[in-house]
Structure 1
């Protein structure tokens, strides 16, 4: 929660406690220039500027690897159910990001999904995210 508040405050350049599209765009650009690679680039394992399903699955697994560290060599039914739910969510997310349904995610498709997430979170459609609306998550 603290990290989310910090991100909110860093993004809120004018200090008015709401996030405009422009502020979020500026924050993303600044963050990209500071980071060695974006989440898209981290998921694009072979660096071909396309994320295929295998790359996406591997990236998702790495992001959630802490969930697997505590799993015994013979997973319980609870762990199996969790893994099955994760596989389904992974498949749903991949399909949602693949805008033209060609089986590949390009950077423009990835960015478009981020824009759609902003629109979804902006519950009153004013082009700004307030703390109450803010549920900033990585796409």
Structure 2
């Protein structure tokens, strides 16, 4: 997967606190005290997140991030929303190191720009929807218009296999 695609895929998850549709890898992660994101998006508790359920969950997260309720999330609203979510999830654990926070901020700003298709400084649901739908379809391996936890976790399994298959440097022999 290219870096641009990783950034764009992550953008959706980051933009809306790991919303449902399009942010499939984040669905497997735990949410703030209400169960995992997958369970939150699975409105009828059938173990599957349909595109409609995913879009409803993502729209709700978008609404949370849209502090002034003008139908668009600015970079500042995005940052404030993400900081609040990160602090809520962190609880009593220490904050990440400053360097890591700076990299997260930089990455988040780049992701935001990638989603702001009309470059007006705001991401709207209309800009978000085509990307979210494409990512949902990409994760829907069996084409049944629903994601299961197995389909959501596939990315993590591939990443682990790729890491495990990475060539190891042969130890040098002292002579």
Over the aligned positions, Cα root-mean-square deviation in angstroms equals 3.4
> In the comparison of the two structures, how many residue pairs are matched?
118
Cα distance change of structure 1 residues 38 and 9 upon mapping to structure 2, 3 Å threshold: closer
TM (normalized to structure 2)? 0.51
Q: Quick check: 1:25 aligned with 2:52?
A: yes
Q: Which residue of 1 aligns with 2:68?
A: 46
Unpaired stretches in structure 2, ≥5 consecutive residues: 1-27, 29-34, 154-175
Preserved CA contact (<8 Å) 2:43 2:53: no
The correspondence for 1:93, drawn from 101, 106, 111, is 111
Provide the rounded CA distance (Å) in 2 between the counterparts of 1:104 and 1:6. 29
Q: Distance in 2 between matches of 1:57 and 1:51?
A: 10
The whole-number CA distance in structure 2 between the counterparts of 1:115 and 1:104 is: 19
C-alpha displacement of 1:98: 1.4
- SS of residue in 1 equivalent to 2:152: coil
Structure 1: runs of 5+ lacking an equivalent: none
3-state SS of 2:136 partner? helix
1:132 aligned partner: 150
What is the Cα deviation at residue 5 of structure 1? 6.0
Q: How many Å separate the matches in 2 of 1:80 and 1:68? A: 18
Q: 1:70 to 1:95 in 2, by over 3 A?
A: same
Match of 1:110 in 2: 128
Per the alignment, residue 36 of structure 2 pairs with 3
